Amino acid sequence: MIDTEQEVFLLEDVQERIPTSGKRVTRVLPGINGWTNIGAVALVLFAGFSVWYYVHLARDGAKTAPVSEALSDFGQYLGGVISAATGLVTVLFVAKAYLQQRKELAEAKTEAIQANEHNQRIYHLSVTQNINQTLFSWLSSYDALINSISRNSGTSGRRVLQELYIEWFASGPVASEIENNGQYASTDPDNRTQAFIRYIINGNGLTSEELDALYRRSSDVLLDRFGRMYSSNRADLDSIFRTMYRLLWWLDTLESLTSREKYDFVALVRSRYSWIEQAFFLCNCMTPRGEKFALLAEKYALFDNFEIDAREILCSVIQWSKTPTGTDHFRNHPTFQALSESAFSSDLAKIALGIST
């Protein structure tokens, strides 16, 4: 039997022979059968030599010594040979038993590692399946919340969001509010709002300072109008924003998933967004109530596929917020905040997460 220290030594030695790459490599053990054959040959040689020695003594030794004395010497010699041969054979068999046990321990450890890895794969697959089921159940609840929104006009679901967007923070109402405040009034008497929209988006005839001032005013008006719209429709919108935030937060905090798996799950979620939902979530992330939502949006590039519409002041403000002047404006703003570039770029988000692009 091998004591505890020997077992530890053997297990450590086996561990050294199992690469961390997962490839199973077994060292070729010494050929114990060859050692046994060598011992057998040695015994035959000793036996032959013993016969020769006996014959030599019986024939020549009798001339100088009595036969009894010669036989006594031969018996002592033969006893020494047998004792040495027996010791050699014993050592060989002990070595064979030791190496065999070492081999069995190595095989047992390899099988244990493989079984453990297999169990971990089965467990991870089971966990992933449960996450998939929970995720799609959650998304179904989210879709049900969207579809449950309705207005007296008869519209429901995402069409309600579209109407709210047009009424509150699309380019038309934003431009009209700025005009009503007496700033940057349009000179087109036939279509003042549309002329102003072209003016703010294209910036024709403005210096860089004037254009920055126009964007600062436009962003403040746009996000202020979003806040008023949200307050007026809190009963319909509050559960939508909270449900989506909790879903993203849940995925982000799952310890059983790798960063890559978390990113892929969030990418699956964002693929279900319509443009109008992205616009609502985007404005929400730029307000105080969406600060935590914004962190997850930046971490997982939640607006990676947000289509920039050149006709919308919202999109122009988003583009301006990425400029040095826009960044400084939102950084020092007492109420609103801008999203970092990673919220719109999956490559930047993946680099920050430490996963391959």
177 shares a domain with 322: yes
User: What integer is the mean pLDDT of 36-46?
Assistant: 67
76 shares a domain with 180: no
287 shares a domain with 247: yes
State the chain's mean pLDDT as an integer. 78
- Indicate the pLDDT class of residue 307, thresholds 50, 70 and 90: confident
Radius of gyration over every alpha carbon of the chain, rounded to an integer in angstroms = 42
Q: What is the pLDDT of residue 146?
A: 93
Share of the chain above pLDDT 90, in %: 29
334 shares a domain with 202: yes
Q: Left, alpha or beta for 155 (phi > 0: left; psi -120 to 50: alpha)?
A: beta
pLDDT at 157 over 80: yes
> Number of structural domains, the chain?
2
DSSP bridge partners of 155: none
Q: Summarize pLDDT for 56-85 with one digit per residue, the tens.
A: 655 555 455 565 665 676 677 667 767 777
Q: What is the pLDDT of residue 357?
A: 64
Report yes or no on 196 lying in a domain.
yes
Distance CA 331, CA 288 (A): 13
pTM: 0.65
CB 46 within 8 A of CB 81: yes
187 shares a domain with 61: no
Number of helices and strands in the chain (H, E): 14, 0
Residue 342 structural domain: 149-353
Residue type, 6: Q
Instruction: Name residue, tokens 């060859």.
Output: 34
170 or 201, greater pLDDT = 170
pLDDT at 116 over 60: yes
173 shares a domain with 97: no
User: What integer is the mean pLDDT of 306-310?
Assistant: 81
Q: Summarize pLDDT for 207-233 with one digit per residue, the tens.
A: 778 778 878 888 888 889 999 999 999
Q: Measuring CA to CA, how many Å separate 191 from each of 99, 100, 184, 197, 263?
A: 95, 95, 14, 10, 46
